[in-house]
Structure 1
Amino acid sequence: MKRARVASRLALWLSAPALLGLLLPLQRAWMPGQGSIGWALDLLAHWQPLYGAAWLVTCLLGALRDRRWLLGLPLLALPWLTASPVAPRSQESSDLVVAVANVNIRQQDPAALLDWLQRKPANLVVLTELSPDYAAALAERQYGGFAHYALHPLASPPGLGVLSDHPLHNVRVLPDGLGALRMEADLDIDGRTVHLIAAHPKPPMATRKYRARDGLLRELASAATARPTIVAGDLNATPWSSALLGSDLRSLRRVSGWAPTYPSEAGGWFGIGIDHVLVSSEFAGTDAQRGPDIGSDHLPVRVGVRWHGE
């Protein structure tokens, strides 16, 4: 009986932070806010799997004394229900396989990345934190066999690159006001022109960076209503972040899942999912998976997409 009382008290202590954490994405969607409070709440909203685990423990501890706590178990579905919208799913084969890899500015050897791509081929690879040494090593290895590529390496995290089986046209690199870059290009896929954006906004560790990240995603979502678009990269936003939530962002939907990709330690399971592929309404998703350790502090992602438009 004494143990049951102790467990019940622990459940009461855990219940408030766990439940408030699970409800944060709803607040971010309805009242995103761009000030310092909104920034802080957005950082807290990232950890939905952790809040879910805490709520499960809460219900189980409380049930040792009062089985009515088990009535709270359905709330474990909230992380699935409150995540940003996903693209429709297709059971047909992929028209395009897209991989995203933050290769880490300190990493110089692409061997692990290219070995993974040999085992799990992709038609399009977006690289973030591309350093000059990494780019030179890619060139020595013939860019992993990709016929088309556009690289903008830098000795700092904004470096970007794209490897592609399909021709790339009108490649341009655009900065934001904080020094982050995005690479835009027109991708020729079987006679259709798709607008590709490789993006890596600054980590939202200050209010102005948070505003810049959210502003970029809203700008890209607005432009995606006019033409077929794929956005890929380290977006420094989880599926429960204001950067991916809200009615004005629904023209871009996730194909990637929400399994953690950063940091890569312990298989990534104690991190957050911030590496994504987003697509406009012309596309459906066919597959999504997280890749292995490639020597970076991020795990890569690999998704399949299929033309869904007319």
Structure 2
Amino acid sequence: MPSWQAGRGGSLSVASPVLERASRGRWLALFTLAAANLALIGAVAGGFTALADIIAPLTGHLIGIGLTASLALLMRRWVPAILAAGVVATAALHVWLGLAWCCAAPQATTQTALSRLALHTSSEHGLTVLALNTWHVHGDARRLERYLATGPADVIVLSEIGPDKRSVLPRLKAAYPFQVDCADQWPCSLALLSRLPLEAAGVGRIAAEGREARASDMPAFVWAKLAGSLTVIGTHLHRPSRDPWLHARQVSALTQLVRNIDGPLVLAGDLNTSPWSNAFRKLRAATGLAPASMLMPTWPAWPLALPQVALDHILVSPELAVGAAGTGPAVGSDHLPVWAQIEWRPDTLERGQAPRRRLTSRLAAARPHLGGELPADLGGEHVGAGHLRR
């Protein structure tokens, strides 16, 4: 065999493994891109099924992985390394989004005397609401108590605060003298704490909808009406990864509850849904509520605070605006606290009163309100202001 042929054959034998690895890398990148795009289509455009909300919390991750796979296809070399770096960068970006506004006190904003009067707080920053899932059984009650005793907000909504942590509540009376809770019942495990006087407050279970819906499947909620007609509702919804259809029914029932309440309203708690989910979009569209933030992951925060998914939310009605929002520090739960600084909209102040939301509902003729008692139409099990602890 001529020497030039031997040399050519040798170079081909050396190059063959390189070409084979490059081909495998391209197929890996192509498969990753296709999988990310299919999952993304299902998450964003999957309104026809509740199953889509299982993967909707990963929408940001899917976008990041898809972009990384596209880059790997263009580069054609070091594909596994590029894909791995992209996954790490995507996770790091979500951690940054969750922690970028973390752990700082709400920034003061300019408020008129009328705005402070309307929100019934003498602070310079309007009304601050905080929501936190304290984590059933596993949460650090002492760490939680130390954090809440600092008075991080005017109104606090706690979920998964059951009998194991209820002893924390009385010890917070100095900071939050007005409290309503169902922490003595594991199926409810909610609390609302306020340092501002409440006109009325209570605990209820959202009314079931449809013939096949069971009242026991519906989520509990705590509510309080502050002087000045502002209503705060706190709740905790079922996780879609366990039962997406039950989660969808709970969101639908919560939507109906919100639609039946007139006047300015704040909804806070662990809704177990991301801003990209179909259920969350339907809730916003049907109620007119706006989230305090769309890009603020709160879970997981244990054993390290590396949040990836926004599950905890504070939403406000059109009469209100969010001056600032952020997350709180890790306090022993697998969720970070989320807070929002709430103000009247300037156009509302100019008119001198909050506009009433005219949303169609099946109970519109009854025009229910949250007053001294919780109307039976809004919850099968409820208590009125008598449950308010002072």
Match of 2:342 in 1: 305
Task: Select which of 263, 268, 278 maps to 2:315.
Answer: 278
Match of 1:14 in 2: 32
d(CA) in 2 for partners of 1:274 and 1:200?
A: 10
CA deviation after TM superposition for structure 1 residue 250, in Å? 5.3
Question: Which one has a bigger Cα radius of gyration?
Answer: 2
Structure 1 gap ranges (5+) = 67-75, 77-89
Structure with greater proportional strand content: 1
Task: Select which of 130, 135, 138 maps to 2:166.
Answer: 135
d(CA) in 2 for partners of 1:195 and 1:222?
A: 13
One-letter amino acid matched to 1:104: W
Instruction: Give yes or no for contact 2:180–2:203 (8 Å, CA) kept in 1.
Output: no
Structure-2 change in CA distance of 1:143 and 1:19 (3 Å): farther
d(CA) in 2 for partners of 1:268 and 1:108?
A: 14
Match of 2:326 in 1: 289
Alpha carbon RMSD of aligned pairs, Å?
2.9
Match of 2:377 in 1: none
**Aligned pair count?**
278
Task: Select which of 47, 67, 70 maps to 1:59.
Answer: 70
d(CA) in 2 for partners of 1:302 and 1:293?
A: 13
Task: Select which of 36, 57, 73 maps to 1:46.
Answer: 57
One-letter amino acid matched to 2:203: V
Match of 2:231 in 1: 195
1:181 aligns with 2:220: yes
Match of 2:356 in 1: none
CA deviation after TM superposition for structure 1 residue 304, in Å? 1.3
One-letter amino acid matched to 2:27: R
Secondary structure of the residue that 1:161 maps to in structure 2? strand
Secondary structure of the residue that 1:121 maps to in structure 2? coil
Alignment of 1:261-276 (within 5 A): 261-265=298-302, 267-269=304-306, 271-276=308-313
Instruction: Give yes or no for contact 2:259–2:287 (8 Å, CA) kept in 1.
Output: no
Secondary structure of the residue that 2:45 maps to in structure 1? helix
d(CA) in 2 for partners of 1:136 and 1:169?
A: 25
CA deviation after TM superposition for structure 1 residue 194, in Å? 0.5
Instruction: Give yes or no for contact 2:136–2:160 (8 Å, CA) kept in 1.
Output: yes
Match of 2:176 in 1: 146
CA deviation after TM superposition for structure 1 residue 183, in Å? 1.3
Listed one character per residue, the Cα deviations across residues 57-111 of structure 1 (whole Å, up to 9, x for unaligned) are 2122012049xxxxxxxxx9xxxxxxxxxxxxx9646311111111122157543
Instruction: Give yes or no for contact 2:255–2:287 (8 Å, CA) kept in 1.
Output: no
d(CA) in 1 for partners of 2:304 and 2:248?
A: 30
Match of 1:215 in 2: 252
CA deviation after TM superposition for structure 1 residue 270, in Å? 5.6
Listed one character per residue, the Cα deviations across residues 31-77 of structure 1 (whole Å, up to 9, x for unaligned) are x33xxxx12111111211221221132122012049xxxxxxxxx9x
d(CA) in 1 for partners of 2:257 and 2:292?
A: 16
Instruction: Give yes or no for contact 1:108–1:133 (8 Å, CA) kept in 2.
Output: no
Match of 1:105 in 2: 136
Instruction: Give yes or no for contact 1:232–1:276 (8 Å, CA) kept in 2.
Output: yes
Secondary structure of the residue that 1:46 maps to in structure 2? helix
d(CA) in 1 for partners of 2:246 and 2:175?
A: 36
CA deviation after TM superposition for structure 1 residue 279, in Å? 0.4
